[in-house]
Amino acid sequence: MGATRLAVKYPGLQHQADEGKSRGLLFQAVRRFLRAQFGRPTGLWGALVGKIMLHTPSNHDRTLWAISLLDIQPTDRLLEIGFGPGIAIELASGMATRGVVAGVDHSEVMLRQAARRNAAAIRDGKVDLRLGSASHLPSFEQPFDKIIAINSIHFWDNPVECLRQLRALLRPGGMIAVAVQPRWRSATDATAKNIGEEIAANLELAGFTNCRLVLKQTTSVPIACGVGIK
């Protein structure tokens, strides 16, 4: 039973609810399936998940707020980890008008959706989307000014090591923002705060400085974002 309960947990967070503790095996199986699809969308279900991400208002609000923390400049080079259907990529490329916005996602379904959404910017050389993950990053010729990850760190198996690898891709003085809004039903304001503090602590363990937690209250549960500087 312990292994079954653990399976409905996110691997990249210590602070989270035990949604499967008092639920049956069918509930846990459905939960695992849905979390797997949101973590790495595949096939027809994955395409549907991408549409849900694209059209959910809270997803847009979370993305806009997280991006605003980076103060993106026209010449910035920005990298997003886990770009999904490409919402943040599109917004950031509209701000970094003379820079480059790159993205890494381990879902081929999301790569196709994001590439369609950002087709013009890709043709113009302003957007560069690649298959990969936080633990298996592709090579980039130049360092980045900013890195962002929105609702993806909880899917990382070893978040501190992944953050170390991301730090290596930043220029000195570069900035990272890692945002999470807990979506499970039992999440509270305290849950979001604890998750944010965990992210900020992991950033510090990975070698970032000036690490801090920023919270944004919403109509449901706050969005937590850990911010750090290389």
Give residue-wise pLDDT tens across range 135-166: 999 999 999 999 999 999 988 989 999 999 99
Structural domain boundaries of the chain?
Answer: 54-229
Strands 144-150 and 77-81: parallel
Give residue-wise pLDDT tens across range 34-88: 555 455 555 555 555 555 565 566 677 889 999 999 999 999 999 999 998 899 9
Give residue-wise pLDDT tens across range 179-197: 999 877 778 899 999 999 9
Residue 219: Cβ-neighbour burial (10 angstroms; 0-12, 13-18, 19+): exposed
Cross-strand bridge partners of residue 226: 178, 213
Fold of 54-229: Rossmann fold (3.40.50)
The pLDDT value recorded for residue 58 is: 65
- Model-wide pTM > 0.95: no
Residue type, 111: L
Strands 127-131 and 170-180: unpaired
Helix axis angle for 159-168 and 189-205, nearest 10°, is 50
* Distances in whole angstroms, Cα of residue 84 to Cα of each of 4, 40, 119, 148, 192: 28, 9, 15, 13, 22
